Structure 1
């Protein structure tokens, strides 16, 4: 925990009981005004912490002073000076962010390549033409899925360091998907399977979510999936399921769907 965060925490604890007592005496209108200030304070605190973590320290005393001066219309700096200073800081933050992202990418790339190199020597692992590594745990007896098919599967995904990303608990989940909607490495792994089979795919970053990552998957990360292929269906075989989006694309919540893994 940084010094900045410790300071904010101690200040918050100092006033928590006093604040609770005062809040009980506030009128609804007073609470609205107070909430505006609290919301602004939370935003400033969050931004200050994030910037300090990147390596751009923030003097909170001066932040508060600048805020109070602005409210009184007695700023010590001209508007031009403020804009120039903020632009300078924005450039600095961009450079620090780019350096941090580069560092994360290089670390993840090295860890992923090391894991792939080690895993390919494991007995039973087959390296496919794309570099995807396939290990059969149980042979299936049904058909192999094609791009246009709908598959029902149980799977769990994790990073090479063991961190699960398909769900917070790291537990297997059942899902129905159209094969063509899945990431390239996952599609290739499925093509090796037959209905009823179980396998492990180790997918290089360039056949997964690449240099940008996605959600909880960091950039340049190889992915490990343990998959049980329960059913393979031809398009239109299940009319009821055709009337809605497949399980990989949950119903709309508001204006956009929540994408599930391992979609492209």
Structure 2
């Protein structure tokens, strides 16, 4: 719509100018444009070629690639476009592209993670400090993964395995006490397979006999990690859950 409006506006302006001048003047020749590389754009073909180049470059930049051998890139572009002999098979070319994009993605993800760790450093420290103090409380036990749990109500039923389906009631809160979810509020328990939830739950629920109620204190790395979850759980959040294991459904 904006493009159409622009065309109409330009056309209308031209019409007014012609009406006022009452004569048609000859078009001035397009002056040559010199780019920063010394290449001179003299024709519409030059402009189109350069435009395609910038478009391809912008697209490649979004992949996370930081540099390429531009002379060889142009060679490959020319060979493919003109039907010349290509130096790599389609399979070899695709493998090179996949490897480069994978490497670029890893570098980009590491950079983003480092930046996020600085950004969310207060949340990370808050979680670490809380867990350090919490593990000193009577009744709180800590596993090798860093998961902390407290038995609120003992149970006498069977314990589930990682591949079992279970039925639970739960309430989840942040360290500041803000509740982000509760099956009690939904009015019914939830059923799921243990290996389909966050690692802290997968590990913790296997410690619980059916009929018991535990309180879990879950570090961010076995909860929702550096990404968090939706608007309610910020990245790097340590979480607290009260969980009732109502039933083990089996595999």
Q: Which residue of 2 aligns with 1:240?
A: none
1:185 Cα deviation after fit: 0.8
Task: Kindly provide the CA deviation profile for residues 40-90 of structure 1, in whole angstroms up to 9, marking residues without a partner as x.
Answer: xxxxxxxxxxxxxxxxxxxxxxxxxxxx9999559xxxxx9xx9xxx9xxx
Q: Which residue of 2 aligns with 1:209?
A: 224
Q: Which residue of 1 aligns with 2:131?
A: 116
Pairing partner for 2:164 from 149, 154, 164: 149
Equivalences for residues 46-125 of structure 1 within 5 A: 72=9, 101-125=116-140
Structure 1 residue runs without a partner (length 5+): 1-35, 38-67, 75-79, 88-97, 236-264
Contact 2:200 2:222 in 1 (8 A): yes
Structure 2 residue runs without a partner (length 5+): 12-50, 59-111
Cα distance, 1:104–1:226 mapped onto 2, change above 3 Å: farther
Equivalences for residues 86-235 of structure 1 within 5 A: 101-166=116-181, 174-215=189-230, 216-235=232-251
For normalisation by structure 2, the TM-score amounts to: 0.53
Task: Kindly provide the CA deviation profile for residues 19-46 of structure 1, in whole angstroms up to 9, marking residues without a partner as x.
Answer: xxxxxxxxxxxxxxxxx99xxxxxxxxx
Contact 1:155 1:172 in 2 (8 A): no
Runs of 4+ displaced beyond 6 Å: 68-71, 168-172
Which secondary structure does the structure 2 equivalent of 1:209 belong to? Answer: coil
1:146 Cα deviation after fit: 0.5
Cα distance, 1:113–1:150 mapped onto 2, change above 3 Å: same
- Return the alpha-carbon distance in structure 2 between the equivalents of residues 127 and 172 of structure 1: 31
Contact 1:154 1:172 in 2 (8 A): no
1:161 Cα deviation after fit: 1.4
Contact 1:185 1:207 in 2 (8 A): yes
Contact 2:161 2:194 in 1 (8 A): yes
Contact 2:183 2:189 in 1 (8 A): no
Which secondary structure does the structure 1 equivalent of 2:179 belong to? Answer: coil
Q: Which residue of 1 aligns with 2:91?
A: none
Contact 1:144 1:232 in 2 (8 A): yes
Cα distance, 1:169–1:150 mapped onto 2, change above 3 Å: closer
Task: Kindly provide the CA deviation profile for residues 109-133 of structure 1, in whole angstroms up to 9, marking residues without a partner as x.
Answer: 0111111112111110000111100
- Return the alpha-carbon distance in structure 1 between the equivalents of residues 8 and 184 of structure 2: 47
Task: Kindly provide the CA deviation profile for residues 204-244 of structure 1, in whole angstroms up to 9, marking residues without a partner as x.
Answer: 11111111112121111111110000001112xxxxxxxxx
Aligned pair count? 159
Cα distance, 1:192–1:72 mapped onto 2, change above 3 Å: same
Cα distance, 1:167–1:138 mapped onto 2, change above 3 Å: closer
How well do the aligned residues superpose, as a CA RMSD in angstroms? Answer: 3.8
